């Protein structure tokens, strides 16, 4: 299992990074990105701490940790500068909190994230066909979410991604130990979204390719 969207105690998760990684390792994960919620108030605090923690975690665990952030509820005009700042701070993976159907995310967030060229647009809800086509063109992965509520848009994301040839990845958006899932359950999430077995395999491969690229190792 490769999960590119999780949260630690540094934002609103229940576990410190070390315990999150230990639990993922016991479940047989190969890689996990810690993508804590940030805006301009805490980006300079959280990003350096995750970046500094990752080398030591990777030295002592088989599961490879990725230092990421999830830009969350930022006004759309602030997304591109925040993504650039995150990368300047050494963040390996930039996720944007998309227009989930269960949260009042600002209109235009999905498009701004895609235009900024972030790595993953999380739970993008009622994303438009034009935005999905743009994501395919820009190489921005669209998330199929295992998290309750956010997962309500999965079917739409899967269908439009298929039509546009956009990349999808399957993530947990884990905030607690119980949110981490097996690869088999992740497959179930993908199939429930309307992906075929082959498309689920392609989503797993896309996650592995993205993780391998940012880590600089083949997974």
The token duo for 169 is 């990845």
Tell me what pLDDT residue 44 has: 98
Tell me what pLDDT residue 22 has: 97
The token duo for 142 is 């669209």
Sheet holding 2-6, edge to edge: 2-6, 31-38, 64-71, 93-97, 120-122, 141-145, 168-171
Tell me what pLDDT residue 159 has: 98
In the structure, what pLDDT confidence band is assigned to residue 75 with cuts at 50, 70 and 90?
very high
Tell me what pLDDT residue 215 has: 96
pLDDT mean over 195-206? 98
CATH number for the domain harbouring residue 54: 3.20.20.140
Average pLDDT of the chain to the nearest whole number? 98
Tell me what pLDDT residue 156 has: 98
Domain count of the fold of the chain: 1
pLDDT mean over 75-100? 98
Domain assignment of residue 189, given as a range? 2-215
Tens-digit pLDDT profile for residues 20-31? 999 999 999 999
In the structure, what pLDDT confidence band is assigned to residue 213 with cuts at 50, 70 and 90?
very high
Tens-digit pLDDT profile for residues 93-128? 999 999 999 999 999 999 999 999 999 999 999 999
């Amino acid at each position: 299992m490769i999960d590119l969207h999780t949260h630690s105690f540094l934002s609103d998760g229940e576990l410190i990074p070390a315990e999150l990684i230990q639990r993922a390792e016991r479940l047989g994960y190969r890689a996990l990105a810690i993508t804590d919620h940030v805006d301009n108030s805490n980006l300079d605090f959280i990003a350096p701490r995750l970046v500094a923690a990752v080398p030591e975690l990777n030295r002592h665990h088989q599961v490879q940790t990725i230092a990421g952030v999830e830009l969350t509820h930022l006004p759309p005009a602030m997304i591109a500068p925040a993504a650039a700042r995150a990368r300047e701070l050494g963040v390996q993976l930039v996720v944007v909190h998309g227009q989930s159907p269960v949260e009042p995310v600002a209109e235009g967030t999905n498009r701004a994230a895609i235009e900024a060229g972030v790595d993953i647009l999380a739970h993008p809800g009622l994303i438009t066909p034009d935005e999905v086509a743009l994501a395919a063109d820009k190489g921005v992965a669209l998330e199929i979410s295992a998290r309750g509520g956010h997962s309500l848009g999965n079917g739409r994301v899967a269908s439009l991604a298929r039509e546009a040839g956009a990349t999808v990845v399957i993530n947990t958006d884990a905030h607690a130990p119980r949110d981490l899932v097996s690869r088999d359950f992740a497959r179930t999430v993908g199939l429930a979204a309307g992906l075929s077995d082959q498309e689920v395999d392609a989503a797993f491969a896309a996650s592995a390719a993205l993780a391998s690229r940012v880590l600089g190792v083949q997974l």
